[in-house]
Structure formats: C-alpha cells, structure tokens
Amino acid sequence: MIGIKFFFLVLFTFLFMQNILFAKQKVVIYGDESYPPYSYSENGEGKGIYVDILRRAFAKMINYEITIKMIPWKRGTSYIKNGEAFALFPPYYTKKRLSWMLFSEPILEEEIVVFGKAENLKGKTKWPEEFYGYTIGMNRGFSPYGAGGTRFGDAHKAGRIKIEEASSTAQNLKKLERDRFLFYINDKFIDIQPYPTIIQGMTINMNFGHLGYTKQNDEYKFMKDFKNTFDQIIKDMKESNEIKKVVDKYIN
C-alpha cells in the first residue's frame, strides 16, 4: 500500500513539474481598433490585415499563449509609454518613440497619401509646402512625423500646418466630406467608397508597421525571447510571401 501511494506521489510530482516546465507564457497584445483594413474591431473581435498576419505568426510561437485585444490607438500608445502593456500594433518607427518603445522586425510597408476633394487637391504636387496654412485631419494618436514624414512634422511643430484629430478613420472622412478641414492623411487602402466626393491625392510617405514593445517595464522577463522569436517568424513569412498572400486577400 505504501509503495502504491509513493508511486502515485512520484507520478503526481512529475506531472506537476512537467506542467510548470512546459506551461505557455500568457501574453496580451493590443491593437488599433479603428484602422481598417489593417486593424479594427468588429463585434469586439480583432479583424484586419495585421490581425491576420499576427495570428499566423503567433500560432508558430509554441511557447506562448497570446491574446489580441483591440483598443483606441491613443490609449494603446499611452499604455506602452507608461509601461502598462507589453506590446502594441502597428506603430510606425519614429525617433521620438525610441525612448519608450522597442520596435520589432518591420511587418508590412504602408503607403501614406493625402485625401481631399478634387477641387482642393487640384494642382498640388509638393508635400508639405503647398499645404502650409491648412488644417490636416489625422487619426488621434498618430505621430505627425510617422504619418506625414519629417518635413510635415517639423512644419506642424513650427505652426505652419495645423492638425485636427478624430478617433477613427470614418469620423475623419465624415469631417473631410463636410469641409471641417480640406485634407486628411492616411493609408492608401482605407475605404473611401461611402464618400463619393473624396479622392486620393499624392503619396506623401512610406512607412512600415511594427509590433511595438514597452521599454518602461522590466517585469516582462520573456521580452527578449519573444521579440527574437517573433522577428525570425516575420522574416520567414516575408521570404515565403505568406504576408503578401494575406494582404492580397484584402486588396485584390
């Protein structure tokens, strides 16, 4: 009887230790809830190009149990800046963010364009000089330097260009249609079909979206392994055209 009890005690201890040794690290990753078609929330569920890419990548990270949660972009960047969250997608790289954000391998290149009505965009070919004195619409929490480029960021800082923010792409497009401002900048693939008076103007910037990690919290001891593993998977997905196939499903 003692031998049987001892056997089960040893077995229980072994299984318990195995569970500890091979337990997956739980991680929460936040994403922009209002950036279609790249990243958005639908009935509380994450959708979009980046969400699909990341789900594929995370499925290959066998040592991690990863949950994606969608939140307003400005809140997400605040979480990272204050060390309240581990990672956020898809921030653009900017020097101003380097003090509090660590960037992953670039995931996907985006083309930023200026939107407006045809009569307002007509003849405009120089960015940002021909837009001095105007108010430009942007999504709340977007970096002027990241979205519009260095010269645009400097022009805004010097007061040559004003910025008006709204919480979502849809809100900004409605403002643009109602002439609350004459120009709006965002990715070329945003859906403008519901706004027939709005057209796409010149390309003003090219940017890569990343997974951005906080630098303000040293409790994430697994960060180095997570980042290295994720970066290699993204490199492999780019080389195998897996990321391109995800994008093509949305764009074509």
Give yes or no for a contact between 136 and 147, defined as CB atoms under 8 angstroms apart.
no
Identify the CATH homologous superfamily for domain 23-107+210-251: Periplasmic binding protein-like II (3.40.190.10)
111-207: CATH superfamily: Periplasmic binding protein-like II (3.40.190.10)
Range(s) within the chain of domains with CATH label 3.40.190.10: 23-107+210-251, 111-207
pLDDT of amino acid 11: 45
The pairing of strands 108-117 and 212-214 is unpaired
Predicted local distance difference test score (pLDDT) of residue 17: 44
Asked if residue 151 has pLDDT above 80, the reply is yes
Query: Looking at this protein, which amino acid is placed at residue 20?
Result: I
Parallel/antiparallel/unpaired status of strands 39-42 and 45-47 = antiparallel
Q: How confident is the model at residue 252 (pLDDT cuts 50, 70, 90)?
A: confident
